[in-house]
Structure 1
Amino acid sequence: MLWEPEDVMRVLDPSEQRFVRHATFTGRSVTVRGELDAAGLGAAFATLQRRFPILVCRIVEDADENGILLRPGHIEAVGAWVSFGEPDEVRIPAESMDPGAQLAYLDVVLAEEDRARVTLFVHHSVADAGHCVELFARLWDYYTDYVELAADAAHADTAAVVAEPETGAGVAREYPASLEALLAHRGIRRGRRSGLEPVTRPLVAAEPVSGVERSEAPACLARPARIQLDTIATARVLDMARAHAVSVNGLVTAAVLRAYADLSGADSVSCVYPVDLRRRLDPPVGAEAGTNLSGLAAFRADAADTEDLIVLARRIGTSLHNDLADGVIEQSVLHFPDFFGPNRIHSTAGHIALTNTGTVPTFRAPAGLILDDYEIVYLSAHPRSSTGASAAVTFLVYTYLGRLTIGRLGGGALATDLLDAVAAELSWSPADREAATA
């Protein structure tokens, strides 16, 4: 045993466990224009680590590859990494990212002409999209505090002021809980339906993978290919959704399904997408109070039923509304052991995965500093052979600074054309549609 028993917090739950096998970190990255104070950013990251102690915790695995969450013990926290390079690239850090050491890392790449890239990596087992955005926003809050206080000669010890403000805001947060624990606390138990039935395929139970025989590959970074609509095109998508009383998520999902159906020629298309349950639980849960607080929604349609974008978007919205009302979105996570890991009995392989994180807030920054781009990336610190379902293609959707971004991972032979096809679907207006069918 490589850890002390008193350091053990708990065994990770299935919603968290599925990110242990590959040591998956989810990254939030921005390009920066203006003079960046590297020392200030390092101080801000140190403050983030103090106030959110889950970031300096660790994850280790037992012989059966069960992830175990540990307190940091006697291991000192790793600070921000600062180096010179090319800010247009999102890189694999030269230093080791080890979940057995800590669960968040900050990589800062500086360049001439006051350009930089800042990427916060957080282990996906302890933070989902909502949690990561909250952490990233806090980082820039702390950095801005540092710079603004440093400009005031009355504050002699800036780092100390940032770390322990008089308002009491410096109190460390509680450790976030798993969705399973939060559901149990609210009396929600596993039922018969998972909500994933529309995309489920039968699977013979897999044989457990021996922890002794596992092999690990070098760290791997996944940076989605992406397109960004300009502010005018983005506003047009929003107007289309409002005009037809459908959600933006339903509209984008419908565009993805239509594009995939047209390009693939498949008889049917199916998708799985996460639904943030924070505001849907009673009582609601704060952004940083849970680890992965998303259930999964599933939708399937025959290709013949995808011809009308708005009708399809409305069907997707109705399906989600019904699943939320029936409580099956919450149920999906309670059925995760049946879909993920070595003992799974069902498969959702071949589906379209779509994550829509919504509108990303404008991060606070000191005067003269512009955070002009935002990306979501993934890093597997030690990839291994998979034991779960594989999506045919994965889409990431978000809006930053008024621009809708659609990212893509995978897609096989269709990869080259998928993003343009989705953008084309979203560019249609009612007038365009009438003209095309005239």
Structure 2
Amino acid sequence: MTAQRALSPLELTYFGTETRLGSVPAAGMPVFIGSTVHGLLDIEILRRVLDELAAQHPLLRSKPVTDADGTRYLRRDDAYRPRLDIADGGEAEYLNLVNRPQDWRDGLFHAHLLRDGDRDRIILVIHHGIADGRSAFALLAQLWQRYTAHATGTALSQSDSDQELPESIDARLAEVVSDAEVAGWLDQIRAGAATMSPESAPRSLPIDGDGIGDDPLGRFALQRIELDTNETRDLIAAAGAHGLSVNSLLGGAALVAFRSQLEPATGKLPVLCGHAADVRSELNPPLSAHTILNCASGVGTFALVADNADPIDIAHEVAAGMATAREQREAPIFLLASQRVQDETTAAIFAATPTVAISNIGRLPAHSTPEGIRHIRDEIYAMGPGMPPKLTVFTVGERLTIQVEYDTARYSRAQMGKISSAFIDALQGISAA
């Protein structure tokens, strides 16, 4: 059984130093995934569940190692037990955690429990090199399934812990994406860039942060927009009424909100929405979200947005862009193409900052919790220095959450606050109409 394998080119980006995937500073980035609940969790059950999760998923109990010749590997450690750190704290302590550098030398998976009166917050911390947002949410769901089973005396079965380390997603994609497809796509990108003038290049937000991230609330900022069940239902209905997906609807509203902070204040401006894309379904056979692995790629949708643009009109442009990206297989090709860039011009195209990025996890079932534990919210966070502003979207049960995330070294809270207000106004206008 595979107890060790070399890191792939994609994984080396996440395990590197000052390395980037496109415009994303991927090096050493953590994924924080967790839940806040009313009620106190049983610590011994939590420890048992964390052990079971690590035993179930071989990448969670793997460690990066370097051979004598400098080759880097992931090595499975079947004796690994994830650490659980327990402390008193609420929102301030959570923000301190997501702003703190992580030490991955002892393992790529651990957890924190923050206790704030009658509220508990369980946070799983995973190296982004081994997990994406979709598999992180799947892992959180498994945590609650196992916790509830133990709490009710019906513990779930455990598979054999001697499992193979899954192949990296870029190795798997090379089986279904040809070299000719990658070369052709790179040629297309270069040809498009050659015809683009400075005036037609997508705009990005003015950089008005403090330059160093010395914000008293933490360099990496987070604002939650939480919809209740009725608001979520209205937004989904509005998307359907206009023949749009929720993702395209949010993309249109976001581009209009970001346009409100761009100069000149009037007229149409080119903007770009980056979208995180899960490429599991591109494999043959498709890979389950329950497999812990980083399968995140990205696509971009372009639009010309006026200062008085209708979010629905822009949402249709986003939808058309997403349809083209699917037709051209942009998401699976991008991960392989990014490894074959050899000239500065193409590298600059890949590194260009989008106006806004959206990571939409999609709709997820509500968690199972035992008696005495009531779910309040889930949250996921993954940011790095210099990262473009991002919206992370997910629907748990019947409630949709949008997180506005940004690096205060680049973007001020004042500017991002105006964008958040404009975004909320756009969503409310859509639902009301």
Structure 2, unmatched stretches of 5+, are 18-26, 198-213
Written as runs of structure 1 = structure 2, the 5 A alignment for 1:187-198 is 187-189=177-179, 190-194=182-186
Q: Distance in 2 between matches of 1:149 and 1:127?
A: 30
In structure 2, what residue type is equivalent to 1:330?
P
Matched, 1:147 2:147: no
Q: Report the CA distance shift for 1:174/1:41 in structure 2 as closer, same or farther (over 3 A).
A: same
For 2:401, which of 400, 405, 419 is the aligned residue? 405
- For 2:331, the equivalent position in structure 1 comes to 329
Q: Is the 8 A contact 1:93 1:107 kept in 2?
A: no
Q: Distance in 2 between matches of 1:395 and 1:354?
A: 5
How far residue 123 of structure 1 moved from its aligned partner, in angstroms, is: 0.6
State the superposition RMSD in angstroms: 3.6
Report the identity percentage: 23
Written as runs of structure 1 = structure 2, the 5 A alignment for 1:257-268 is 257-265=255-263, 267-268=269-270
- For 1:154, the equivalent position in structure 2 comes to none
Q: Is the 8 A contact 1:16 1:291 kept in 2?
A: no
Matched, 1:177 2:167: yes
TM-score of the pair, normalised by structure 2: 0.78
Q: Aligned to 2:60, what secondary structure does the other structure show?
A: helix
In structure 2, what residue type is equivalent to 1:141?
Q
In structure 2, what residue type is equivalent to 1:191?
A
Q: Aligned to 1:273, what secondary structure does the other structure show?
A: strand
- For 1:316, the equivalent position in structure 2 comes to 318
In structure 1, what residue type is equivalent to 2:153?
L
Q: Aligned to 1:35, what secondary structure does the other structure show?
A: coil
Q: Aligned to 2:291, what secondary structure does the other structure show?
A: coil
How far residue 404 of structure 1 moved from its aligned partner, in angstroms, is: 2.2
How far residue 94 of structure 1 moved from its aligned partner, in angstroms, is: 12
- For 2:284, the equivalent position in structure 1 comes to 282
How far residue 89 of structure 1 moved from its aligned partner, in angstroms, is: 3.9
How far residue 402 of structure 1 moved from its aligned partner, in angstroms, is: 2.2
Q: Report the CA distance shift for 1:307/1:63 in structure 2 as closer, same or farther (over 3 A).
A: farther
In structure 2, what residue type is equivalent to 1:325?
E
Q: Report the CA distance shift for 1:369/1:9 in structure 2 as closer, same or farther (over 3 A).
A: same
Q: Aligned to 2:31, what secondary structure does the other structure show?
A: strand
Matched, 1:103 2:108: yes
Q: Is the 8 A contact 2:3 2:164 kept in 1?
A: no
Q: Report the CA distance shift for 1:305/1:92 in structure 2 as closer, same or farther (over 3 A).
A: closer
Q: Distance in 2 between matches of 1:192 and 1:82?
A: 52
How far residue 398 of structure 1 moved from its aligned partner, in angstroms, is: 1.6
How far residue 431 of structure 1 moved from its aligned partner, in angstroms, is: 6.9
Written as runs of structure 1 = structure 2, the 5 A alignment for 1:36-435 is 36-60=41-65, 68-72=73-77, 76-86=80-90, 89-90=93-94, 91-92=96-97, 97-112=102-117, 114-149=118-153, 165=157, 169=159, 174-189=164-179, 190-194=182-186, 222-265=220-263, 267-289=269-291, 291-304=293-306, 307-337=309-339, 344-346=347-349, 347-378=351-382, 390-410=386-406, 411-412=411-412, 414-429=415-430, 432=433
Q: Is the 8 A contact 1:196 1:297 kept in 2?
A: no
Q: Aligned to 1:366, what secondary structure does the other structure show?
A: coil
Q: Aligned to 2:153, what secondary structure does the other structure show?
A: helix
- For 1:3, the equivalent position in structure 2 comes to none
In structure 1, what residue type is equivalent to 2:105?
G
How far residue 400 of structure 1 moved from its aligned partner, in angstroms, is: 2.6
Q: Is the 8 A contact 2:177 2:332 kept in 1?
A: no
In structure 2, what residue type is equivalent to 1:92?
L
Q: Aligned to 2:335, what secondary structure does the other structure show?
A: helix
In structure 2, what residue type is equivalent to 1:259?
A
Q: Distance in 2 between matches of 1:223 and 1:324?
A: 32
Structure 1, unmatched stretches of 5+, are 1-5, 151-160, 203-216, 381-385, 433-438
Q: Distance in 1 between matches of 2:99 and 2:301?
A: 41
In structure 1, what residue type is equivalent to 2:88?
F
Q: Distance in 1 between matches of 2:70 and 2:338?
A: 16
How far residue 172 of structure 1 moved from its aligned partner, in angstroms, is: 5.7
Q: Deviations over 1:187-240 (max 9, x none)?
A: 5332321587779999xxxxxxxxxxxxxx9xx884522221222222111111
Q: Deviations over 1:65-96 (max 9, x none)?
A: 986423338x7434322333336741429999
Q: Distance in 2 between matches of 1:45 and 1:335?
A: 37
Q: Report the CA distance shift for 1:393/1:185 in structure 2 as closer, same or farther (over 3 A).
A: same
Q: Distance in 2 between matches of 1:238 and 1:70?
A: 44
Q: Distance in 2 between matches of 1:94 and 1:313?
A: 33
TM-score of the pair, normalised by structure 1: 0.77
